Amino acid sequence: MDFITITEDRRFKHPVYGEGFLERGKTYYTYTQFARETAKAGLGTILEEVKPEVPSFAPAHLAAPERFRKILLIFAGGLGDAITCGIVLPEVSREYGIVIDICCDRSKWDNVFTPMGMSGLHVPYPPDLGTLKGYDGVLSDITCFYPSRDGVRFSPVMELIKGFGLNAREIRPSYEIPREVMGAWRLPHANTIRIGVNLDSNGLVKSYPPDLYGPLLRGLSDAGFDIFLLGMNRTGCWYDSREIRDLRSRTAIPESAAVIKQMDLVIGVDSFMVHLANVLGTKSLVLLSSTCEESFVWHENIQCLSSKIGCAPCYSLFDSCPANHQGCMAFYHDSVDPHAIVKCAARMLAEKFSAPFQ
């Protein structure tokens, strides 16, 4: 983390930190990447020598929660990470009597933290020095509460539950869909099986290969399922038809939640959509390439289908293959090919409806 004093008023729109306003003359507490980018753009000066003190909030402070009644969490994770925090933090507030305000992208606050019941306030990113003075402690990296310090090979939810000393059985997350949104997206009654499908993630390694979309969607359609494509359309190809409703890049998060709530099953890669489906109570089949199944041990509504290719899971998060392949080969393995996915989905639906599927 760094402090940067701004020399020019400027609005910003950042892919990680969202939208905000930097005011000339104010000093802000920011992630190092943001501070360096801002300074490089000639908008401010990073404080290199004398730096203000910021009271941190760490696991040891849970022994004396009366000293830390008001905490500011500075959050720059993705939407799936926001779901993880939304699962655990409301219980942290109840257990310790701590008010937790969150400094983050406004869209994450409106579309994840508020619907999941966070009772604190939203603070625009980045916080200035005046804002920080109103808090007993500041938490800029919530993974410092991970006992293992590893949120890749273990369940991030379980790591936070253990780190905050909570009882996993008492964690009952929820996601409230606005009534007007649920009404506008109410699907007509139909004697069909509805499946939500999300094949894109933030990184190419986690995403399902576009050249396998067709075989998978045909397999699900041939099985008689109505398909609702969810998430973002990063391929430019659309699949609207009588059996497929392509909602990619056409719905806001609350609207996607309303659709997911009405699905009989969601099939997706390791992405925000399957995490959202889990808290909505919709059964999901998550397709894993670089992620390990241990990441989902807490998620009672999720079943994993992992690639059995020798290099999986590689734990890569973004676009590059650690083995230097041109693209990730995990989803081409027959353990998680379109036929295997359709077969596993049919089995899950058979268990749900107690009826045979072919």
More reliable by pLDDT, 62 or 176: 176
Domains 59-170 and 187-353 share a fold: yes
Q: pLDDT confidence of 151, banded at 50, 70, 90?
A: low
Q: Is the CATH number 3.40.50 carried by domain 59-170? A: yes
Residue 153 has pLDDT above 80, yes or no: no
Domain layout of the chain by residue ranges: 2-46, 59-170, 187-353
| pLDDT, tens only, 23-60 | 999 999 999 999 999 999 999 999 988 888 899 998 88
Percentage of residues of the chain with pLDDT beyond 90: 58
More reliable by pLDDT, 294 or 8: 8
Among 60-69, 164-173, 313-322, 334-343, the minimum mean pLDDT is found in: 313-322
What would the mean pLDDT of 1-5 be, rounded to a whole number?
95
| pLDDT, tens only, 192-232 | 899 999 988 877 777 888 888 899 999 999 988 999 999 98
pTM above 0.85, yes or no: yes
Query: For residue 102, which of 84, 124, 80, 79 has the smallest C-alpha distance?
Result: 124
What would the mean pLDDT of 69-94 be, rounded to a whole number?
93
- 129 touches 27 (CB < 8 A): yes
Cα dihedral sign for 171, 172, 178, 182? positive
Give CA–CA dist 24/67, Å, rounded: 33
What would the mean pLDDT of 91-99 be, rounded to a whole number?
92
Give CA–CA dist 219/339, Å, rounded: 7
- Per-residue confidence (pLDDT) for residue 58, from 0 to 100: 87
- Average pLDDT of the residues of the chain: 88
Among 115-119, 237-241, 257-261, the minimum mean pLDDT is found in: 237-241
Cα dihedral sign for 309, 311, 316, 322? negative
| Parallel, antiparallel or unpaired: strands 193-198 and 265-269 | parallel
Q: What is the CATH number of domain 187-353?
A: 3.40.50.2000
Q: How far is CA 143 from CA 32, 65, 85, 175, in A?
A: 17, 19, 10, 23
More reliable by pLDDT, 49 or 73: 73
